[in-house]
């Protein structure tokens, strides 16, 4: 019988398996995936991804006419490997939000991590922090952001 993956015990071919075993392993995979989906009601996801999906669903179901604003902040130059990058102070249009909005941001560079400082989120703006935790230099940092009224 084939070996299995450690997390979800999905069957996988072992080096000693023969080509004739592929159909049997494929069927075992289909049954195991179906069992996982039936038990969970959905594919198992990391908690961060589940949280992100919930926040995105809140945006999709937001009533039309809800206050919103988005943009891109950029900084030129290099960010050394394994170091903090530039921070961005985002200011929302005056009077647009009556309380802190739902806020999302995403780095536009594969080596850059972007996150907003929850303590800084107000109805008037937010601070976005960046870092380059890769082993190589990153340059020309950009972060896309979007805010939508929470009420």
Residue 55 has pLDDT above 80, yes or no: no
Residue length of the chain: 151
pLDDT score at 35: 76
pLDDT score at 23: 74
Read off the pLDDT of residues 116-147 as tens digits, 9 standing for 90 and up: 988 999 999 999 999 998 899 998 888 999 99
- Residue 120, token pair as written in the block: 């800084």
Q: How far apart are CA 77 and CA 147, in angstroms?
A: 27
Whole-number percent of the chain with pLDDT over 90 = 38
The helix/strand/coil state of 3 is strand
pLDDT score at 26: 75
> Are 11 and 25 within 8 A, CB to CB?
yes
pLDDT score at 16: 78
pLDDT score at 91: 96
Of 60 and 104, the structure prediction assigns the larger pLDDT to 104
pLDDT score at 13: 73
Segment among 38-47, 68-77, 95-104, 108-117 with least mean pLDDT: 38-47
* Start-to-end Cα distance in the chain: 55
Q: How far apart are CA 52 and CA 119, in angstroms?
A: 19
- Residue 2, token pair as written in the block: 């084939």
Q: How far apart are CA 71 and CA 91, in angstroms?
A: 11
> Are 32 and 9 within 8 A, CB to CB?
yes
The 10 Å Cβ neighbour count of residue 84 is 13
Of 19 and 143, the structure prediction assigns the larger pLDDT to 143
Q: How far apart are CA 127 and CA 133, in angstroms?
A: 19
Residue 44 has pLDDT above 70, yes or no: no
DSSP string, 15-59: TT--GGGHHHHHHHHHHHHHHHHHHHSS----HHHHHHHHHHHHH
Q: Which domains does the chain have, with CATH numbers?
A: 3-40 (no CATH), 66-148 (2.60.40.2080)
């Amino acid at each position: 019988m084939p070996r299995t993956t450690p997390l979800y015990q999905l069957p996988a071919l072992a080096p000693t398996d023969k080509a004739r075993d592929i159909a049997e392993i494929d069927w075992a995979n289909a049954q195991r995936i179906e069992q996982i989906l039936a038990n969970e009601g959905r594919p198992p996801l990391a908690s961060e991804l589940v949280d992100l999906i919930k926040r995105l669903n809140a945006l999709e179901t937001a009533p039309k006419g809800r206050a919103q604003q988005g943009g891109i902040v950029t900084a030129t130059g290099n960010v050394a490997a394994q170091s903090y990058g530039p921070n961005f102070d985002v200011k929302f249009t005056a009077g647009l939000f009556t309380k802190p909005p739902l806020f999302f941001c995403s780095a536009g560079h594969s080596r850059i991590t972007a996150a907003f400082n929850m303590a800084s989120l107000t109805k008037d703006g937010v601070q976005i922090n960046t870092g380059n935790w890769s082993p190589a230099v990153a340059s020309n940092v950009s972060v896309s952001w979007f805010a939508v009224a929470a009420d």
